[in-house]
Structure 1
Amino acid sequence: MAKFIIAFIITFNITACLAQNADYIRLDTARFITGDQPEWKNRVFNDHDWKIIKTGEVWQNQGFPDYHGYAWYRIHVRIPSSLKKQAVWGDSLRIYLAHVNDADETYLNGEIIGKTGAFPDDKGGYVSKWPAIRNYAVSANSSVIKWDEDNVIAVKVYDGGGTGGIFMGEPFLDMLEKTDGIAFEAKEIMFLPSGKVLRKLSLQNKFNTTIRGTIHYTINDAAGKKRLRDVNLPVALGPFESKELAIEFPHREGIELVYNYTEQSSGKGKSYTEIAPYILTPRAPLTPVINSAAVLGVKALHPILYRIPVSGSKPINFSIKQLPEGLSLDEKNGIISGSIQANGTYTLLIKASNSLGKYEKSLEIKVGDTLALTPPMGWNSWNCWGLSVSAEKVKSSADAMIQKGLADYGWNYINVDDGWQATGRAGDGEIKANEKFPDMGGLGDYLHQQGLKFGIYSSPGTKTCGGFLGSLGHEGQDAVTYNQWGVDYLKYDLCSYTDVIGNDTSLSVQQKPYMLMRNYLEKQPRDIIYSICQYGIHDVWKWGSSMNGNLWRTTEDITDTWESLYSIGFAQSNFYPYAHPGGWNDPDMLIVGKVGWGENLHASRLTPYEQYTHISLWCLLSAPLLIGCDMSNLDEFTLNLLKNNEVIAVDQDAAGKQAQKMIDKYNFQVWVKQMADGSHVIGIFNLGSSYAGYTLKLTDLGINETASIRDLWAQKNIGNHLRQLIFQIPPHGVRLIKVFAN
């Protein structure tokens, strides 16, 4: 790399996106072609016959629906010298490309200015860096920049599967200022007994130069429209230095923290508004509470492993009345194991007790052909660890699921996503794990000993999305191996199978690989949940069940932004007829907690309001609930989202119905889910950008008689025999209520 080129990535851990400086040039469109030729990087190359494409949107939406592999963008831009003259610092030209899926090599006028990830033909092979922001800079004095002339930014992209290209942001070009080196990072948050919250905030200088200025922060009550506090502090930061602030504020919904840093020499600033986290769910009682779903589906003669989910002070002792023959109970750990010989419905009365009290609940074990009678709940490695997943990280996540009490609320699958496979198969064709997973069977045993389930990932193609070995030509062999390892869940991801089928996108061709693996899974002497991941192509919700799919992805991958959550979650309304016990529409994994897709872990960019909406909507949808964050780094707010047993019960309801959208107007949507006990759960969503009032008339939903109404997040009754309710709902927020019939 030439010595005058700088390549860097700036991470703003609590900002939603990178902000342009006052003078900037948008890079909205590019010329685009699939394939790869080295001369395409050159400034003088003639690209007039290439397709014009938007840079902020995946190429799958722009005429290349099934393409994966190499592609090039060429962005033509005149760079005026006024940019440099008007800049206060005048040090570097910044080229911001937002996100690229999955690896890129970027050139300015034929000179490389940055590379993120690695291509399949690189030494060491393909390395996906999909979540990393592409944010490159070039010295303002470099001769590679053609001031007041046309320049070409050429971007070589490789997409290994899923969506491809430059997307999820607005690419631009500007001059760096010193404030671009300032980053806010939300550190620890503590909910104090005094009714206050303490936020620790780190102010960081990412540049190798001293930055002097003032931080100004305000504490606002957005719900009450009041300013509660206003503080100015002079702050000087040496090269790469960080300083920490402690900010205290009231613990309630609607508190917003506004941070501003003004750099002294330029007067330029950087600002961010943080919606303060708040906890709605009261602390769980110390007496035992059994939080299980009402039903469990298994197959005859197959091994059963079921950890009874019970919250309360430990130790807890367990007993069961009417335990079917063939099953046994670990009375200290509450783990049921064994097998049942014959089909039928077996009703168990489970009792849990500790020194403070006891609890009883019935569980129906339905032995037959149907698994996943309620949506699967657990954790998946992808949104956190990406391709850097390892056995140690998986074990750590399993330990955290137990230690942090999530298993006490029904979270029980530990799923290893892409990145576990070796580079080649054994001589007899058997799939092998790589050095990060020295003993897959042992890993399965480790999880099973704690009453947890073991999930794994593959593709029907030759390669997975991350470039690892797929199952093509070895489907039966892989199914046998999964059984030997004790696998309880298979996510089967389309990825490179699109290369196999070429231009044939007929339904039968789309179904074939899933049908093939279905047949081999059926032959295994254990229950394996089958997750069909092919992004909703050919309306998979209509035929996923016939593949013995227990869940099927209805969408592309989700990311931790409101735009992604909104476009995916609120687009599920037409799929409700296809959700049922044993088969679930899957809008992808949860994006709460610390996520990062392999590196640059950061707190979810969803506001707390949006995170309450996220969990509420997924539960109304009867969606699979798969945590995607760093399990070792769960804060109290995130645990509050994941450990509300009344909200989880909405998802795990035995009727298995998906909510329907009943009202959609004036920036509000109202979704209603009918429950097995005859009650209705209602989600009222404010899709607007500010607090707003909403009057809900239950008769508009066909609910004419009510006995009582309960706020599920606060776990408190809010009235009896009401016909109308008035709510103040935060921006992108929700009220989740349960209406009991007479």
Structure 2
Amino acid sequence: MRHLPTRRTRRSGGRVIGALAAGVLCAAGAAVPAAADSPATAASTAVTPKSDNGLALTPPMGFNNWNSTHCRAEFNETMVEGIADIFVEKGLKDAGYQYVNLDDCWAKPQRDADGKLEADPARFPHGIKAVADYVHSKGLKLGIYTSAGTKTCDSVGLPGALGHEYSDAQQFADWGVDYLKYDNCNNEGVDAKLRYTTMRDALKATGRPIVYSICEWGQNKPWEWAADVGNLWRTTGDINDSWGSMLSIMKQNLPLATAAGPGHWNDPDMLEVGNGGMTDTEYRTHFSMWSVMAAPLLIGSDLRTATPETFDILSNREVVAVDQDPLGKQGVVVSSTGGRWVVAKEMKDGSRVVALFNETGSAQRISTTAEEAGLPHAAAYTLRDLWQHTSYNTAGAVSATVPAHGTVLLRVAADHKWAAHPPAVELALNGSLLMEAGRGAPLTTTVTDLGRTPALRVSASLTGPAGWRVSARSAAGPATVPTGRALTTRWQVTAPAGTAAGLYDLTLDAQYRSPTGARVRSSVPLQAHVVVAPPAGSRYLSDLPQLSASNGWGPVEKDTSNGEDEAGDGNPLTIGGTVFAKGLGTHADSAVEFYTGGACSSVTAQVGVDDEKGDKGTVAFEIWADGTKAASTGVLTNATAAQQITADVSGAQVVRLVVTDGGDGVDSDHADWADLRLGC
């Protein structure tokens, strides 16, 4: 989310940026200046050769400090060298991570008398070359940062490279730098393609192999031209450590698959895995989808304090191998109905990696077939679960019940090895996991044999928290389940009276034997949501508990606008000069769900873009009743007065309030649900 073209500040997970317009696309290219330092604005009609530096033949893997430290004092040479040590000690180097990259704030505020950059002596008392030497001594590589403008992006504005491309590039080469991240702030309106091409040529002139990362936030559609310029290019604004931000960026990056390949990659920004704003399930999704998208894997968490789970996610070599596959194909969307995503990635060995990704806030059955994923017809296939590290056979079905915000990542191959593995089974749940305390909720589970071989002595079990009653109302096994058939079991689940509203863990287990006698256990974690029926009458929805909420930037706010960072940092809800006391402040893309229990009839609100963003922001509002869109607005802008939206939600168990981007990218899309009422 970049607030351009006027000069202003932008908060991005704590980063404050002063920026100028990036300008429009230019002609084919720029000539290599003859002088050691020539401004990027130099006129030229010559065409530069295609950038083919032989680097980044697979997506770069490494670390960047920005997401965890920003410009705080702890960002210094001790930290950077310590990260290199951790790469070696924790096995990240062996898993494929190479680059230890410095972001903004490494430099002094002014160049020296000769116009050269200098390292901040407080942060890097021994200089950048000494740090590079240390990193190289560990068998790793060093990356550095600057901006394609007069200043960098931090609030102070350290020296940028605009007009100094050749001397800066040579200085980086002399220091032993292996990777350059080139940002987009304070660019004086100079054409983006020209600015980035000039630095490409400057890097080439040094003779040192330096991976070139273009960071112009996708503003000028670099996927259309940057393969001739850099090794990777940002396709979106900055990521932040939230489900909404990660999801929005993923959706923007997925359609660009044809632009990616060896030496030139779409970059949906750094990893947030381990920074604390998402659950481990969400972080596994983040890592899975970045790998399926053949994205650069740049760790953005503080490895000095990372949890074992964070290291387990980042060092999963089977998932890393998906990202690093030498064929270099980015995954493509097979289907995405109702937030149930199937994304398939072609691999060099002919297999397909299939991501079954659940965008929604409840467990979902997601399915495809090996042929739909791009494999040829075969009698059976080998199916490898890349998070569980187990292999099965399948007759062709690729299906799973995927937890909320989760991803099941499978590698599917048409090979003769399938017969060595037990049949895959799918554990599925029919029925809602919403329940009121003290009232039994009926559930039906199925254990379906997806394999070419039968599953023998199949049994199912369902367990819940201590004190919950879970009873089978029909046979739970054992049974022999042939290919394509299922063991179906009906259950009654009751949360004790007085159980507080919220999420509670359940587990569905299946045990069975393969025809060779191997014992197999499969399980699916589920979450039951204990809910409270809404009171009768007309109520403000901001006063009622939310089932789930995702937001493009910062949390969903109650009775204030969206402040983009921490909870409670918004302003009074204001649309078209009118201030509203009650409502929700959101930021596209967002979705907020409420339990209505079939007892409510209407949702009404005054909606629009909050005044706090001036002339910025375009959004559209939708109200969904269960799985049906009940009402929507057209695209609204800051110039639009508050619009009335009313939806008939009679009989719905869940009401979902959705805000989508208006089509111009997620940019200052502060969307207010003002005077938001539920009639029951």
User: Of 371, 381, 391, which residue of structure 2 is paired with 1:707?
Assistant: 381
The Cα offsets for residues 361-407 of structure 1, whole Å up to 9 and x where unpaired, read as xxxxxxx8421100000000110111122111111111111111211
Deviation for aligned residue 1:707: 3.0
Q: 1:644 to 1:162 in 2, by over 3 A?
A: farther
Asked whether 1:557 is paired with 2:216, we answer no
User: Of 87, 102, 107, which residue of structure 2 is paired with 1:416?
Assistant: 102
Superposed CA RMSD: 1.9
Q: 1:59 to 1:500 in 2, by over 3 A?
A: closer
Alpha-carbon distance between aligned partners in 1 of 2:362 and 2:94, rounded to the nearest angstrom: 36
Q: Which amino acid aligns with 1:67?
A: T
Select between 609-618 and 691-700 the one with higher mean Cα deviation.
Answer: 691-700
Contact 1:162 1:557 survives alignment (8 Å): no
The Cα offsets for residues 56-83 of structure 1, whole Å up to 9 and x where unpaired, read as xx683xxxx322336xxxxxxxxxxxxx
Pairing of 1:297-312 with structure 2 (within 5 A): none
TM-score (norm 2): 0.54
What's 1:718 paired with?
392
Asked whether 1:592 is paired with 2:301, we answer no
What's 1:674 paired with?
346
Alpha-carbon distance between aligned partners in 2 of 1:589 and 1:519, rounded to the nearest angstrom: 26
What's 1:447 paired with?
135
Asked whether 1:437 is paired with 2:124, we answer yes
Q: Which amino acid aligns with 1:529?
A: V
Alpha-carbon distance between aligned partners in 2 of 1:725 and 1:131, rounded to the nearest angstrom: 38
What's 1:225 paired with?
none
Contact 1:489 1:528 survives alignment (8 Å): yes
Contact 2:274 2:306 survives alignment (8 Å): yes
Deviation for aligned residue 1:573: 2.2
Alpha-carbon distance between aligned partners in 1 of 2:262 and 2:219, rounded to the nearest angstrom: 22
Contact 2:236 2:252 survives alignment (8 Å): no
Alpha-carbon distance between aligned partners in 2 of 1:500 and 1:428, rounded to the nearest angstrom: 26
Contact 2:62 2:100 survives alignment (8 Å): yes
Q: Which amino acid aligns with 1:69?
A: R
Contact 2:352 2:373 survives alignment (8 Å): no
Deviation for aligned residue 1:699: 3.5
User: Of 358, 368, 378, which residue of structure 2 is paired with 1:696?
Assistant: 368
Contact 2:110 2:158 survives alignment (8 Å): no
Q: State the secondary structure of the residue aligned to 1:530.
A: strand
TM-score (norm 1): 0.49
Q: 1:450 to 1:727 in 2, by over 3 A?
A: same
Q: State the secondary structure of the residue aligned to 1:446.
A: helix
The Cα offsets for residues 572-596 of structure 1, whole Å up to 9 and x where unpaired, read as 22211110100000000000113xx
Percent same amino acid among aligned pairs? 40
Q: 1:702 to 1:519 in 2, by over 3 A?
A: closer
What's 2:618 paired with?
none
User: Of 141, 146, 171, which residue of structure 2 is paired with 1:458?
Assistant: 146
Q: Which amino acid aligns with 1:452?
A: L
Q: Which amino acid aligns with 2:249?
A: I
Alpha-carbon distance between aligned partners in 1 of 2:323 and 2:147, rounded to the nearest angstrom: 28
What are the ranges of 5 or more consecutive residues in structure 2 without an aligned counterpart? 22-51, 416-680
Asked whether 1:425 is paired with 2:121, we answer no
Q: State the secondary structure of the residue aligned to 1:571.
A: helix
Q: 1:369 to 1:421 in 2, by over 3 A?
A: closer
Alpha-carbon distance between aligned partners in 1 of 2:243 and 2:136, rounded to the nearest angstrom: 36
Contact 1:461 1:500 survives alignment (8 Å): no
Deviation for aligned residue 1:674: 0.4
- Deviation >6 Å, runs of 4+: none
Q: Which amino acid aligns with 2:94?
A: D
Deviation for aligned residue 1:425: 0.9
Alpha-carbon distance between aligned partners in 2 of 1:741 and 1:725, rounded to the nearest angstrom: 13
Alpha-carbon distance between aligned partners in 2 of 1:702 and 1:656, rounded to the nearest angstrom: 16
Asked whether 1:631 is paired with 2:335, we answer no
Q: State the secondary structure of the residue aligned to 1:69.
A: coil
Q: State the secondary structure of the residue aligned to 2:71.
A: helix
Alpha-carbon distance between aligned partners in 1 of 2:150 and 2:219, rounded to the nearest angstrom: 20
Deviation for aligned residue 1:481: 0.6
Deviation for aligned residue 1:159: 4.1
What's 1:664 paired with?
336
Alpha-carbon distance between aligned partners in 1 of 2:98 and 2:70, rounded to the nearest angstrom: 20
What are the ranges of 5 or more consecutive residues in structure 1 without an aligned counterpart? 1-57, 71-100, 103-129, 134-157, 164-367, 502-508, 595-602
Alpha-carbon distance between aligned partners in 1 of 2:256 and 2:78, rounded to the nearest angstrom: 38
Q: State the secondary structure of the residue aligned to 1:567.
A: helix
Alpha-carbon distance between aligned partners in 2 of 1:515 and 1:457, rounded to the nearest angstrom: 17
The Cα offsets for residues 602-628 of structure 1, whole Å up to 9 and x where unpaired, read as x2x112221111011000000000000
Q: State the secondary structure of the residue aligned to 1:631.
A: coil
What's 2:211 paired with?
529
Q: State the secondary structure of the residue aligned to 1:648.
A: helix
Q: State the secondary structure of the residue aligned to 1:633.
A: coil
Q: 1:385 to 1:162 in 2, by over 3 A?
A: farther
Q: 1:471 to 1:634 in 2, by over 3 A?
A: same
Alpha-carbon distance between aligned partners in 2 of 1:383 and 1:628, rounded to the nearest angstrom: 5
